[in-house]
Structure 1
Amino acid sequence: MKQKKTVLDKVCSINLMRLLISLQYLGICLIIFVGCSTHKKQTKTSPNVVLIMADDLGFSDIGAYGSEIMTPNIDKLAKEGVTFTQFYNIAKCSQSRASLLTGLYHHQTDLLKRSDNNITLPEVLGDVGYETIISGKWHLGDWKQDEDTPIDRGFNQFFGFLGGAINFYTGEDWGTGNNYMRMGTEEYQVPDNFYATDNFTDYAIEQVNEAVDKSKPFFLYLSYNAPHFPLQVPKEEIDRYQEVYKSGWDSIRIGRFKRMKKLGLLNKDWALSERDTLVPSWETLTPKQKLEEQKLMATYAGMIDRMDQQIGRLMDVLETEGISDNTIVLFLSDNGGCPFDFNRTPNKMPGPSDALRSYNVEWANVSNTPFVKYKQWMHEGGIASPLIMRWPNGLEQNELERTPVHIVDLMPTILGLINVESPSDFNGKSLLPIEGRSIVETLGNDSIKVRKPLFWEFQGSRAVRWGDWKLVAERGNSWELYNIKKDRTEMNNLASENIEIVNKLANMYESWANRVGAVSDSVARNMPLNKRATFTFSKN
């Protein structure tokens, strides 16, 4: 049986090919051994990188991960690339973004407010000749003071907003009402026909075209704010889904669960987690409540559908420019579905610019199928995310990758794929070593699956995963232990039966927390429980 080439083999082959072509062009005939690690300088054949992040998108919210929501363009990326079944973010937007761009845990960089000990992915790539572009959400650094902005941290081009959430039609900041929309470093006034998802894609396409015209490789960070609240999208997108959700959340969860098993994303022995106790049976709702709930989820689905359409536009441009096969495309989410009540206009149906609605715990429970918990929790529902990687020149097609991968691994993985080393110092400052590990060696090589422990902590919710074991606790509670290989939906707490394993992983966590500045277990246990998850009609 022929052994499948690993990604590392392919990267080495690509670099060797580049060198031989260059030597032939110069008329030099040399017999030379080329080591893969010696290639540091980018050439015109260097792969482009497109990093697409969705906002508050749950594990099962796209077709490739079992959803009923129509996402043909994202699904096509999966068919033409690698789909990861165990990719983890950090369950919170800014924290995930800081780790994504540095390969460090968010505590170490203070969400990029620190620049003395870290280097960002665009800073590394810019230093080897890449055009570096961000379009969309930033939500890092001291953004309210216009400090630590994308331009400050390595991006050549920036269009988007500095904060965490905006009105999709007006660009107004959700929290303050101020205008944090920026074009480069200048304040940007949105036009009358503005819709964030579309306009961020327009800018991304414009900058890709300019980079191609300059014959420069590019790194594009397309940071959508969809499907984050407020639930706003043109009516035609909502209408497409209005009837889809009339069967209620239990039926949708079961349908997603079955499709996920059929797709091979879930072990056949894993159980579907129970409906959250905060969520009532669909049959107990009044007809009026059911219609409103249908509209909430239909709007959320429409926002994802619209985002998928825009991703399709971008992929069409890459194809037209002849650079699709030499572009590494990644798609992921920053955290699980959000269960919190942000309904500022409860008497308005979602969709238009004056409706400020969210979908709350009942539908977040669906988004995170088959798992328990949500954004801000370190149970699987909070940290499990889709991850798709497509690169026809270097990756297998239609592959499932089951290696556990943490978001801190993405920066070293991207650098590994394009064969660029992250420096140990930058602009006269000594840098922390990257915490993540490149997964280039593990892709397509089932014999290499052992890795170091994975850690998480946000506001006292915490976890450590080591092999098949996961130790997890929400703030205000003690440790729970799960065998993720047998029970990834975290239905059977084994802590009382495995005290030695609990102690071993707890000691790992304490050592890590002390090193990076995370909250210790003893402090976390005395913090109040997170009780923000809310059912839409609980106040009625």
Structure 2
Amino acid sequence: MITFALAVISSVLSFHRVHAEQTPNIILILADDMGYSDLGCYGSEIATPNLDRLAHRGVRFTQFYNSSKCEPTRASLMSGQYWQDTGFGVKRGLTMGEVMKQRNYATFAVGKWHLDRNPVDRGFDRYFGHLAGGSHYFRVAGSQRLDHDVFTQPPGDDFYMTDANADYAIQFIDELQRDAPDKPFMMYLAFNAPHSPLHALPQDIAKYHETYRAGWDIIRKQRHQKQIELGVTKERGKLPPRDPSVPAWETLSQREKDFESTRMAIYAAMVDRMDQAIGCVLNRVKEHGEEDNTLVIFLSDNGGSASDPSTAPKTVEGLLGENGAGKDGYWVGIGWSNVSNTPFRRYKCDMGNGGILTSCVASWPAVIKTGGRLIDEPSHIIDLMATITDVAGPPISETPSEKLPGKSLQPLLTDSPRESHDALYFHLFHNRAIIADGMKLVSSWDSPWALYDMNADRTEQNNLASRHPELAASLQKRWESWYADVPEKRWNASLGEPRYRRIDDPEETYNRRTGNGDEIIVVKRSEASQGRKPQPRKKQATSK
């Protein structure tokens, strides 16, 4: 009897040792305002060897959706809920940090937070980054924190935010390996790059000095062709037309071409440096012997941004600034965002696929045995909480938890079937969408509902609403029923789509979005030249 009892105890202990050895580390990496095609493994000419290597060893998703803007995406990602349920900032429900602490994980947050409070008050053991929605890259932001403490500018002139994020990510991992080497960790690594302002290191900009002189029309076609070869787009036919407000590259003046090619070179340098930073973090994980047992997931919070609210002079000299590394206030602009979001139409804040469909790479060498696979199953940022809790196992003690809408990605990682989402819902300001049964009903900028087949027309060129009015009406009813029940609604009427701004326009008289959809700035060249700050005109929010 004693022998049997000892055998049982030994078996139980053995099970727990095996489970502990298999409990993975998790690194969730988020880019900011990066388009679907900006990685090499998704068609780009930008050098991203570290993320490309992850894709080669892991999987790439070709239909992974976000919430189209920084803060709502972060709210959904961090809570596992639609942002309309948890609220901007995560006002209802637990954070990833809190649920992973319940599973005895060390929890780290690094980079842009853009949610309520401080991560160390919301389940994270350590934090380095800025609490606000944006940051300078060469100067420490006022909201920069190291844990609870205000982080001040280090001495010297070599501070660069992307590198600093990698440095502190590595420091947190090193400290854990020193103090508790058997404890698994979950790291949320949220880069500010390549969000504006356009700031990059001169040596990185130099790599792309000539690249974009070919112009956005040629670069966009080259990316699309590479995507077809890679299999990350199903589109075999015609690339959607250039955004109607963006002029053909060959119609630009030489001064405009110089400016535009330079600002895209800076943007590319920011993506390049982010990939270098990711490589540094992953190399340290490998040095600690944890590479095989670490699940890494990379994605972007939304598509490329069409916003271009800067009133700074549109010259190469102004763009680069005195140090040749980019100057405050510049954005990449709609012409190049149209390229970033290849092959899709529309942008950040839109519910078109250019706004809500992100590149997503996952790597887990111990589990993903067939590298380089493409996954076309519709997935969403609400699935990330379900995934990390699934791979981490149950909490160490029973705690009440609500049913979340996400579905774990783990079956897809192992090339197993997964129950599909019944529907995916989207809304932000004046933009709405629902995806169900391979069909997407969408309205951007208060336009009439349009219906697209996501299996045959993911670039949204063939509106089927008039051919299938009953299906469109049914999907509209489902969206309206969902929207009626969510506790948080942010609705305002649209004043028009983003438009390209020519340098040589005699007067800037049209409305230009600031990027969040609820503020319009009207700028006249006479005001900019006299140094007067343009006054924002606040729109009155309307309810529906």
| Same fold, TM-score > 0.5, yes or no | yes
- TM-score, structure 2 normalization: 0.85
- TM-score, structure 1 normalization: 0.86
Q: Which residue of 2 aligns with 1:11?
A: none
State the one-letter code of the partner of 2:351. Answer: M
Structure 2 vs 1, CA of residues 530 and 186 (structure 1 numbering), >3 Å: closer, same or farther?
farther
Residue in structure 1 matching 2:54, options 70, 74, 77? 77
State the one-letter code of the partner of 1:308. Answer: D
Distance in 2 between residues matched to 1:39 and 1:92, nearest whole Å: 41
Q: Which residue of 2 aligns with 1:483?
A: 453
- Give the C-alpha shift of residue 446 in structure 1: 6.3
Q: Which residue of 2 aligns with 1:91?
A: 68
- Give the C-alpha shift of residue 241 in structure 1: 0.4
Q: Which residue of 1 aligns with 2:464?
A: 494
Match status 1:197 vs 2:162: yes
Q: Which deviates the most, 330-339 or 507-516?
A: 507-516
Match status 1:365 vs 2:338: yes
State the one-letter code of the partner of 2:134. Answer: A
Distance in 1 between residues matched to 2:18 and 2:498, nearest whole Å: 49
State the one-letter code of the partner of 2:54. Answer: L
Match status 1:413 vs 2:387: yes
Distance in 2 between residues matched to 1:285 and 1:73, nearest whole Å: 35
User: Deviations for 1:465-485, whole angstroms, at most 9, x for unmatched residues?
Assistant: 002100000132221000111
Structure 2 vs 1, CA of residues 224 and 233 (structure 1 numbering), >3 Å: closer, same or farther?
same
Q: Which residue of 1 aligns with 2:442?
A: 472
Q: Which residue of 2 aligns with 1:128?
A: 103
Structure 2 vs 1, CA of residues 506 and 207 (structure 1 numbering), >3 Å: closer, same or farther?
same
- Give the C-alpha shift of residue 424 in structure 1: 9.0
Residue in structure 1 matching 2:143, options 170, 180, 186? 180
Q: Which residue of 2 aligns with 1:151?
A: 120
Residue in structure 2 matching 1:463, options 414, 421, 433? 433
**Tell me, what secondary structure is at the counterpart of 2:121?**
coil
Structure 2 vs 1, CA of residues 409 and 283 (structure 1 numbering), >3 Å: closer, same or farther?
same
User: Deviations for 1:37-68, whole angstroms, at most 9, x for unmatched residues?
Assistant: x9999735421001110000000000010000
Retained in 2: the 8 A contact 1:40–1:420?
no
**Tell me, what secondary structure is at the counterpart of 1:119?**
coil
Over the residues paired in the alignment, what is the CA RMSD in angstroms? 2.4
- Give the C-alpha shift of residue 344 in structure 1: 4.4
Retained in 2: the 8 A contact 1:371–1:490?
yes
Residue in structure 2 matching 1:165, options 129, 134, 149? 134
Residue in structure 1 matching 2:254, options 287, 291, 296? 287
Distance in 2 between residues matched to 1:283 and 1:435, nearest whole Å: 48
Q: Which deviates the most, 186-195 or 82-91?
A: 186-195
Retained in 1: the 8 A contact 2:375–2:412?
no
Distance in 2 between residues matched to 1:95 and 1:246, nearest whole Å: 35
- Give the C-alpha shift of residue 433 in structure 1: 2.1
Retained in 2: the 8 A contact 1:328–1:389?
yes
For residues 251-262 of structure 1, the aligned pairs below 5 Å read 251-262=218-229
Distance in 2 between residues matched to 1:201 and 1:487, nearest whole Å: 39
Structure 2 vs 1, CA of residues 511 and 421 (structure 1 numbering), >3 Å: closer, same or farther?
farther
Structure 2 vs 1, CA of residues 412 and 421 (structure 1 numbering), >3 Å: closer, same or farther?
farther
Retained in 2: the 8 A contact 1:442–1:449?
no
State the one-letter code of the partner of 1:414. Answer: I
**Tell me, what secondary structure is at the counterpart of 2:480?**
helix
Retained in 1: the 8 A contact 2:129–2:145?
yes
Distance in 2 between residues matched to 1:498 and 1:423, nearest whole Å: 51
- Give the C-alpha shift of residue 118 in structure 1: 0.7
Distance in 2 between residues matched to 1:194 and 1:344, nearest whole Å: 26
Structure 2 vs 1, CA of residues 227 and 422 (structure 1 numbering), >3 Å: closer, same or farther?
farther
Retained in 1: the 8 A contact 2:27–2:189?
yes
Match status 1:517 vs 2:487: yes
- Give the C-alpha shift of residue 343 in structure 1: 2.2
Q: Which residue of 2 aligns with 1:343?
A: 310
For residues 262-411 of structure 1, the aligned pairs below 5 Å read 262-346=229-313, 347=315, 348-350=318-320, 352=325, 354-396=327-369, 397-411=371-385
State the one-letter code of the partner of 2:340. Answer: S
- Structure 2 unpaired stretches of 5+: 1-5, 509-524, 526-544
Structure 2 vs 1, CA of residues 42 and 163 (structure 1 numbering), >3 Å: closer, same or farther?
farther
Retained in 1: the 8 A contact 2:70–2:301?
yes
- Give the C-alpha shift of residue 136 in structure 1: 0.6
Match status 1:103 vs 2:68: no
- Give the C-alpha shift of residue 416 in structure 1: 1.4
Distance in 2 between residues matched to 1:82 and 1:442, nearest whole Å: 9
Retained in 2: the 8 A contact 1:362–1:535?
no
Retained in 2: the 8 A contact 1:476–1:529?
no
Distance in 1 between residues matched to 2:411 and 2:115, nearest whole Å: 31
Structure 2 vs 1, CA of residues 424 and 290 (structure 1 numbering), >3 Å: closer, same or farther?
farther
State the one-letter code of the partner of 1:137. Answer: K
- Give the C-alpha shift of residue 240 in structure 1: 0.5
Q: Which deviates the most, 273-282 or 441-450?
A: 441-450
Q: Which residue of 2 aligns with 1:139?
A: 114
For residues 529-540 of structure 1, the aligned pairs below 5 Å read 529-535=495-501, 537=503, 539=508
Residue in structure 1 matching 2:89, options 88, 97, 112? 112
Q: How many residues align?
A: 489
**Tell me, what secondary structure is at the counterpart of 1:477?**
coil
Match status 1:206 vs 2:175: no
Distance in 2 between residues matched to 1:536 and 1:297, nearest whole Å: 16
User: Deviations for 1:11-52, whole angstroms, at most 9, x for unmatched residues?
Assistant: xxxxxxxxxxxxxxx8658789x9xxx999973542100111
- Give the C-alpha shift of residue 181 in structure 1: 0.7
Q: Which deviates the most, 447-456 or 492-501?
A: 447-456
Structure 2 vs 1, CA of residues 93 and 221 (structure 1 numbering), >3 Å: closer, same or farther?
same
Match status 1:433 vs 2:403: yes
Distance in 2 between residues matched to 1:76 and 1:311, nearest whole Å: 11
Residue in structure 1 matching 2:494, options 521, 525, 528? 528
Retained in 2: the 8 A contact 1:403–1:449?
no
Match status 1:238 vs 2:238: no
Structure 2 vs 1, CA of residues 532 and 46 (structure 1 numbering), >3 Å: closer, same or farther?
same
State the one-letter code of the partner of 2:374. Answer: L
Q: Which residue of 1 aligns with 2:535?
A: none
Structure 2 vs 1, CA of residues 75 and 113 (structure 1 numbering), >3 Å: closer, same or farther?
closer
